[in-house]
Amino acid sequence: MVDSDTAPRHIRSIVIAGGGTAGWMAAVALSRTIAPHRCAITLIESETIGTIGVGEATIPPILSFNQIIGLGEAEFVQATKATFKLGIEFAGWRNRGHRYFHPFGRYGNDFAGTNFHQHWLRAQSLGDTTPFGDFSLNEKAAYSGKMGKLDSDPRSVFSTFSYAYHFDAALYAQHLRSMAEQRGVVRREGLIEDVVLNGESGHIEGLRLDDGGLVEGDLFIDCTGLRSLLLGEALGVPFVDWTHYLPCNRALAVPTDSIDLDRPYTRSTAHEAGWQWRIPLQHRMGNGMVYSAAFWSDDQAHDALMANLEGKPLADPRPIRFTTGRRAQSWAKNCVAIGLSAGFLEPLESTSIHLIQIAVAKLLNWFPDLDFDPMTMGEFNRQIINEYDRIRDFLVLHYHANARHDDAFWRHCATQPIPDTLAEKIAMFRRTGRLLSRESDLFQDASWLAVMLGQGIMPHGHDPLTESLRPTDLDKLLRGMRQLIAKAADAMPTQRTHLAQMGQAPRQMALG
């Protein structure tokens, strides 16, 4: 018999405040795991406020999120007008005229017990000039407009391949909404006017809507976007501001009518005081300028964006203001913030949707009962903080290691202090070619290598164990690997063909 004094007191109702990408991702994932008869899930959103309306590029873990919630790839690609993303091209980031590619997937294959890149570094020291990117199947495929299938067999060159998507965020939220509603989530339209707190515990008791109704719950998920209405405003959890590390704080977003299926990647182009994104979808192009208001006026950013667009704008550029950073905790009392309400690290490496996915997964891992155990909440917060901090370091690297000495903004980025964790990582790489890895490092060695080398950080040394291979054998191995990758990329279908095989007829294809 269960003693009623010690039996866990289950959460019986969850209230999600906000219906952007974060709100609906949380709703679908929770409704997939928690049976509706055990716990009611209500989502409140306000059409008068709307969503932030950006967030169209992703990273590979989105595939597993879709899989977990039972959303098949063909259905997803059709519903969200998605295209494939094999990585990001960084144009003008190291200096004007220079470009490099950050591919998803790995470079080459490790051999002779040593990391692949260490052999490449040694070959370079012996006079080889083969670009590192020649050993990335993703990069080769991306620059030839190709798209392939994943293969987990480590003997296959395709085991080094990986991809994510570009998609229409509004269509994704719509699709998730219909999935969540089918699983019993109740959507309530309304403006949250007040957050009602318990006078003793400080926990949230309910959300007062503009129609006077009170929506009560046991657990509240704050998905109200940058405003952080519950966690930030009502519970007063402070914001940790990282503007001194990541100085961009404004964006202008504008879609154009251009279609480009030949470049299955995001492009990020550096400008005088920020950078421009270009995200190709099936039916339009997503564009925007991210910049620092301390170095550029809104008009300067607007003019630079409009002068560098492909295709006709479909709307006026929409201004967005933000501050980079995160909340000191994502979980306080009976409220967990997910999405922009928990923090925002600017869109440079498309990590925000991933952070939503991570927060939802961790909430399910550390799901509370009505006692809201402080140790559980503490561990959740520690892990989330780690995720943000590691991504922050990776983003800062892009800005810090630049040689654009002519631009005040870029000089500022190069000379500002950087986090110690990043400084150590750069110093170790510069000296030895080795990469320090840390807990919760979302970005693996291949990503760090792409950006370190791409931004011009070339190690002085390499792993001494690579010396056991004779230079002629090393040369032969590298040449063989490079040829194999080139051949594999050649044999892949184009993204156009791949989409057609999935039953998709993007606008350009349909028009012939």
Per-residue x/- marks for ligand FAD, 307-346, CB under 6 A? -------------x-x----------------xxx-----
Is residue 213 close enough to count as binding ligand FAD by CB under 6 A? Answer: no
**Two tokens, residue 105:** 């997937």
Q: Is 80 in the site for ligand FAD (CB under 6 A)?
A: no
Touching ligand FAD, residues 222-281 (CB under 6 A): 223-225, 227, 229, 251, 253
Q: Residue 223 or 246: which CB sits closer to ligand FAD?
A: 223
Strand partners, 85: 164
Q: Based on CB atoms, which residue is closest to ligand FAD, 114 or 282?
A: 282
**At which residue do the structure tokens 């990069």 appear?**
139
Residue 6: both structure tokens together: 């010690």
Task: Candidates 40-48, 95-103, 212-220, 423-431: pick the segment binding ligand FAD (CB under 6 A).
Answer: 40-48
21 is a site residue for ligand FAD (CB under 6 A): yes
Minimum distance between the CB of residue 416 and ligand FAD, rounded to whole angstroms? 22
Strands 266-271 and 87-91, sheet pairing = parallel
Whole-angstrom Cα distance, residue 466 to residue 424?
Answer: 24
Distance of closest approach, residue 457 Cβ to ligand FAD, in angstroms: 25
* DSSP structure class, residue 160: G
Verify binding: residue 105, ligand FAD, rule CB under 6 A. no
Per CB under 6 A, contacts with ligand FAD among 176-195 are: 191-192
Q: Mask: binding to ligand FAD, 394-433, rule CB under 6 A, as x and -?
A: ----------------------------------------
**Of residues 159, 160, 162, 394, the one with CA closest to residue 264:** 162
Select which of 81, 85, 362, 425 is catalytic: 85
Q: What is the 3-state secondary structure (H, E, C) of 418-475?
A: CCHHHHHHHHHHHHHCCCCCCCCCCCCHHHHHHHHHHCCCCCCCCCHHHHHCCHHHHH
Kindly tell me the burial class for residue 214, based on how many C-beta atoms sit within 10 Å of its own C-beta (0-12, 13-18, 19 or more): exposed
Residue of the chain from 28, 29, 34, 46 that contacts ligand FAD (CB under 6 A): 46
Min separation Cβ 227 and ligand FAD, Å: 6
* Listed residue (226, 238, 254, 192) closest to 48, CA to CA: 192
Q: How far apart are CA 13 and CA 278, in angstroms?
A: 41
Q: Which is nearer to ligand FAD, 334 or 352 (CB)?
A: 352
Segment near ligand FAD (CB under 6 A); pick from 6-14, 198-206, 348-356, 493-501: 348-356
Question: Is residue 51 within the footprint of ligand FAD (CB under 6 A)?
Answer: yes
Residue 196: helix, strand or coil by DSSP? Answer: strand
Helices (H), 16-134: 21-33, 62-68, 73-80, 116-125
Cα–Cα distance, 18 to 418 (Å, whole number): 34
44 contacts ligand FAD (rule: CB under 6 A): yes
- For the chain, give percent helix, strand, coil, nearest 5: 40, 20, 40
Cβ of residue 17: shortest distance to ligand FAD, in angstroms?
6
Of 63 and 500, which has the nearer Cβ to ligand FAD?
Answer: 63
Closer of 18 and 108 to ligand FAD (Cβ): 18
85 catalytic per annotation: yes
Residue 18 touching ligand FAD (CB under 6 A) = yes
Residues 34, 27: contact at Cβ < 8 Å? no
Using DSSP, state whether 79 is helix, strand or coil: helix
List interacting residues with ligand FAD (CB under 6 A).
Answer: 18-23, 44-46, 49-52, 54-58, 169, 191-192, 223-225, 227, 229, 251, 253, 288, 320, 322, 339-341, 347, 350, 352-353
Catalytically active residues, by annotation: 85
